[in-house]
Amino acid sequence: MSTVVMEQRKKIHPHKFTLWVAIASILMMFAGLTSAYIVKRNQANWLSFELPVAFWYSTAAMFASSITMWLAQKRFKNREIPAYRTLITVTFVLGLLFVLLQVVGFVTLAKGGLPMQKNVAVSFLYVIVALHGAHVIGGLVALLVMFVKAFSKSVRTYNSVPVEVMATYWHFVDFLWVYLLIFLLAIR
């Protein structure tokens, strides 16, 4: 019997496996986009521009939300539910702040004379950042579900898999944003 239990513990949970497949797919998409960006920047009409300051503030918000997500995961595993509730709420608010600051960055670019149709370089920026933003919004929806469950009065189970899956995804979109920001700064 203990051999069966040991074999089951070695297996990855299906939700975690699905998440890793999704992360691999997302990485492939962004690898393709950044590769295309590198190839296209050799065009004669390529336009260099500065990234808006709002992107730096959004980076700080995303980094802080990754820390609060990590802390929320720890609190959940320790069954410190009041602290978990607070931290998951703060993570959600910081994620919203990230998205809002990204929108401010786009508005700043448009007001600065860089609408999407003007140049392929600007179009790439909009597509890459907007796709990342869409993935963050997907994470916010999942965080909202976790928030509702955290404050639900129904019977609680302390299954940490959903929290672990959410934390892994949230850290992934954080590190993906850091990669994209460094890429956009280095390959202008």
List, as own/partner pairs, every contact residues 87-90 make where C-beta atoms lie below 8 angstroms and the sequence separation is at least 24, other chains included. Answer: 88/143, 88/146, 88/147, 88/150, 89/147, 90/65
- 113 has a pLDDT exceeding 80: no
- 180 has a pLDDT exceeding 90: yes
pLDDT at 177: 96
Q: What is the pLDDT averaged over residues 21-34?
A: 95
Q: What is the pTM of this model?
A: 0.87
pLDDT band at 57 (very low <50, low <70, confident <90, very high): very high
CB 87, CB 147: distance < 8 Å: no
Sorted by where each begins, the domain ranges of the chain are 52-186
CATH number, span 52-186:
1.20.120.80
Q: What is the pLDDT averaged over residues 92-113?
A: 92
pLDDT at 5: 55
pLDDT band at 136 (very low <50, low <70, confident <90, very high): very high
Smallest CA-to-CA distance from 183 within 41, 20, 22 is with 41
Q: What is the residue type of 110?
A: A
pLDDT at 42: 82
66 versus 50: the higher-pLDDT residue is 66
